[in-house]
Chain A
Amino acid sequence: MKILVPVKRVVDYNVKVRVKSDNTGVETAGVKMSMNPFDEIAIEEAVRLKEKGVATEIIAVSMGVAACQETIRTALAMGADRGILVESDVDLQPLAVAKMLRAIVEKEGPKLVILGKQAIDDDMSATGQMLAALLGWPQGTFASKVTVEGDSMTVIREVDGGLETVVLNLPAIITTDLRLNEPRYASLPNIMKARKKTIDIVKPGDLGVDPTPRLVVIKVEEPPKRQAGRKVASVAELVDKLRNEAKVI
């Protein structure tokens, strides 16, 4: 079976973002960009399913500016077979992304789509569930273990109280949680090989989707800053401060 993995280009998780002085967004010029960490986990899971003989082909899709090709190349170097870039300069929100992914799913016919549980820039945690709804497929969100057995799949999910196990009929949607696997680093030979793999480029219009944002960003601001407090010299002083100054115990 084919597996589709959407991979998003985001500000690297090590970067401390800064709000632009005109309050229109965060500074992204000159900032290190990487694949969303949850999407690396998604690619890794797909590659493992291929290594086990469950999957036959892995397609990595990214949506956004032309530079998203770099993100697709990373996915190809990790083991995806080919890529699709939906190129757009518009702020792509999950509803539009999910609609475009639906169009790609209808064309490519994957039996499984593995997404990240959230993108670490916009933290929406929405796209996978939305795609599942648009396709009428079942969903296994926040997955920490996935086992494919014939036409169905067992998914262990991370929920607020612990873990939950569900069985989904294929085709289905998975979103990855942190503990699903530890993504591999691409080896140099694989990075070289990835350069020869194909990336098709399409536009939102080719997929019949109007990507105009439904949520308009009015302004982006710094959150209130927390002042660093002070050091205490001993446990006794700490407890005294908590009791008599902060009065929280």
Chain B
Amino acid sequence: MDCPVVWLYCGGYIMAFNSNIPEGPLKDKWTDHLFNMKLVNPSNKRKYKIIVVGTGLAGGSAAATLAELGYNVEAFSYHESPRRAHSIAAQGGINAAKNYPNDGDSIYRLFYDTIKGGDYRAREANVHRLAEISNNIIDQCVAQGVPFAREYGGLLDNRSFGGAQVSRTFYARGQTGQQLLLGAYSALTRQMKTGNVKFHPRHEMLDLVMVDDKARGIITRNLETGEIKSHAADAVILATGGYGNVFYLSTNAMASNATAAWRAHRKGAYFANPCFTQIHPTCIPVSSEHQSKLTLMSESLRNDGRVWVPKEKGDKRKASEIPENERDYYLERMYPSFGNLVPRDVASRRAKNMCDAGHGVGETGLAVYLDFSDVISRNGQEWVAEKYGNLFDMYKQITGENPYEGPMMIYPAVHYTMGGLWVDYNLMSSIEGLHVLGEANFSDHGANRLGASALMQGLADGYFVIPYTIGNYLASNKLVDIDTNHPAFKDAEDKLKESNDKLFAIKGSRTVDDFHKELGKIMWEYVGMARNKEGLEKALVEIPKLRKEFWKDVKIPGSETELNPELEKAGRLADFLELGELMARDALNREESCGGHFRQEFQTEENEAKRNDADFTFAAAWEYKGENQTPELHKEDLNFEHVKLTTRSYK
């Protein structure tokens, strides 16, 4: 069955829950689909208005490309400029199946690795399309003037990343995300100049507006003046990033949040696989109570760094005093073929196991070493600096220790969310006209994302998928003419003002940060790296309790009509407090271990994740049922026709 259609009976009418995967052989699906989709006449494009919320890699590339095609685009970001989006922080690189190093890579291999890396919980058709498009992305970015790393012969250089045995990662020192985002941003500014894109900086989307069950606009708050305003359009695109900050401490930027996605969810968009969170193995360990965020040390470091802990439990000697034969290079020992380059979920879990077993290092015992002494003595400090200079500097800046002299200390931290709003093959959510791109959707990474694949997915979605599929949507639907005078907008604006008033009216005693930290602790403890039934059930009690407390006791200073960061944070936290609960519910429901979701009850004797393919080969799409109501689960069955489901082995 190529086209799993699940018909749902909801509220009196039948709603299609259809992944809309095209018919035909895997490798022809996208090509055929491109041909079969309807086109919008070039001269008509101008008449369509498309709202793009979020101008990171996914949203920025989408907005620019749609504008180039002639659509009338309005883009929104809570940032002051598209260049500030969280995508800027991506360090390591972006994958593509170019096979430039001639090491046997191909589109099929990238597809295969991504499906396998995702622990067989992603859609084959989507992932294959992603692999096909990957090569165009590199061409596009180079043409924009993105200064990727090059070899002396002038051609592009590649590095290896976890979960792959080929070198397919293109990079720009440790600042790949920055360079790619600046590329997309430059394309976007070019369209801003032509007027095809109207950009609204410091505008936060706070609600989705639907007319006739189709997404037709949004409500925003101008963060500088507090003005609440409606915007109508023919289609809405959300590219608002991930929700890792539900854990309070994560590698995400401080303002990254789930509000846009969550409010769309409340309006009917299904939220898929919320429990699939990625814990990144190489982050700088937590050092104090006041820590506001965690810093990633790019996974690319695992190319040349070796991970170890002392063999002796509780060994408090300095790293330099521990002789070679008393060190346990545990990843190399356990996984001889992938070694330090096992996928993230495996590396993270192993680090946690080692620390839980008493081998952890540093003051807190919650860290392992990442050692560069071998590569420094082999290739010299300069070589290392050329490749990782900025990461080493960053490490030194944060910890005050020089990683050229001793090993780095690392520990896993929340990094990425594979889950997100459910979308079909065309990147349309369960709400018609609402499309979701980038980290905000759930599409391509299954239960675990491979390194350097998020940038690829974001740009694939924005540059090469949505520009076609949205055309198909617009050409296939006859939309009624509406503007912001439609009562649906007024209604949404009123509700929003009401909820803001409610927040101010609480006048409690605790700050937003207090609550957020507490939520983060619950999430990390019970919905973190290792989960179990008991803990998840506890979370399902604790989170609603905290939510109640929040609505009773939070304190928001200032007023609504000014720049008010506390109000912004409060709105976002209110959503996290609901999303956190859904994550726990999803994790409880998924009685298996797969990828980033590790249930302690389900593991092999060697402590590897044990999947349950018979019962859980599906994407869990949750439907919102109202405040404090249990959401409803819809299952999208995943059909694997090309890849055989096996136990992942990186040994």
Partners in one complex: no
